[in-house]
Amino acid sequence: MKKITGIFLSMLFAVTLAACGAKAPAGEDVKEETKTEDVNDEKMTEEKKDDKTSAKTDLNVFAAASMTESLEELKAVFEEENPDLNLVFNFDSSGTLKTQIAEGADCDVFISAAKKQMDELDPNSDTKDSDITIDPDTRFDLLENEVTLAVKEDSRKDIRSFDDIKTDKVETIALGNADVPVGQYSESLLKNMGVWDDIQEKITFGSNVKEVTSWVSEGAVDCGIIYSTDAKAAGLKIVDTADPDMLDKKVIYPAAILDKSAKKEACEKFLSFLNSDEANEVFSQYGFKPAN
């Protein structure tokens, strides 16, 4: 009996030692607990960030491509002053933007590079052609731009004026398509100069002013007719500026809130900001002028 008891005690002692050996050192337990706490802290931090982001209201602004640089700079200023708002830009030709809006795209504010596209969304206009419209009470003329003839800074073509377009100095010229404002301004200018029909073989048409500007910058064409703002932003050389009397219409940028927007108060705050001295200072740096 004593022998059996001794054997039992020996086995019990061995099992106890094995259990103690399997147990992790106290220091490792603390490390595991600390790691878990760190992960939890990181999760809480990420959740707080997500909460802040989700708390912001997105304003979808459809703006003419020529406003890209100026509005991107103003975005940071506006959002710093209005931390609950987030500007989401869609830049393209005004004709493309107008079509997207008419087809139901999510847009709160529209800024066009010409009155034509805004008129097509204005319920008070004779040329309205869309069921989706702007709120006419919010419409106003924001900026004015200039139509220019631009070349690469290192161009050797000796192009000095619009009159050179009809000469052998210009073999290729880039213009905007007829459905984009910069193309419409260019066409009216060249027709009023009496050279439109004579230069058709020289023309390469672009889908918006940024594409035309890019071709001039890359030297793909001898020159291009673009806005003053785009020429300055791209570091191009402006050789001539169109006389406003030679254009059918002034280069005016109207702005308005979409009638269907559910964020009218926030939109009004943004448009008010665009009319501020602070915003006008930035616009002027890019070549824009306040609309008269």
Which residue did the predictor score with more confidence, 257 or 44?
Answer: 257
pLDDT at 53 over 60: no
Q: Does residue 19 register a pLDDT over 80? A: no
**What pLDDT does residue 75 have?**
98
Mean pLDDT along residues 225-243: 96
In this prediction, residue 37 carries a pLDDT of 53
85-94 tens-digit pLDDT: 999 999 999 9
% pLDDT > 70, the chain: 82
**CA 92 and chain centroid, separation:** 8
Tally of CB atoms within 10 A around 278? 13
Average pLDDT over residues 188-217: 97
Q: What is the pLDDT of residue 33?
A: 52
Give the mean pLDDT of the chain: 88
Q: Give the C-alpha separation, 182 to 225, whole Å.
A: 8
- 20-24, 112-116, 287-291: lowest mean pLDDT where? 20-24
24-39 pLDDT, tens digit each: 445 545 445 555 555 5
Summarize the chain as % helix, strand, coil (round to 5): 50, 20, 30
pLDDT range class, residue 2, cuts 50, 70, 90? very low
Q: Which residues pair with 85 in a beta bridge?
A: 57
Mind listing the pLDDT tens digit for each residue in 95-125? Answer: 999 999 999 999 999 999 999 999 999 999 9
Please give the helix or strand (H or E) that residue 244 lies within, else none: none
What pLDDT, on the 0 to 100 scale, is given for residue 44? 53
In this predicted model, what pLDDT tens digit does every residue of 132-190 receive, in sequence order?
999 999 999 999 999 999 999 999 999 999 999 999 999 999 999 999 999 999 999 99
What distance in Å separates the CA atoms of residue 81 and residue 125, rounded to the nearest whole number? Answer: 35
pLDDT score of 292: 77
What confidence score (pLDDT) does residue 29 get? 52
Contact 239, 160 (CB under 8 A): yes
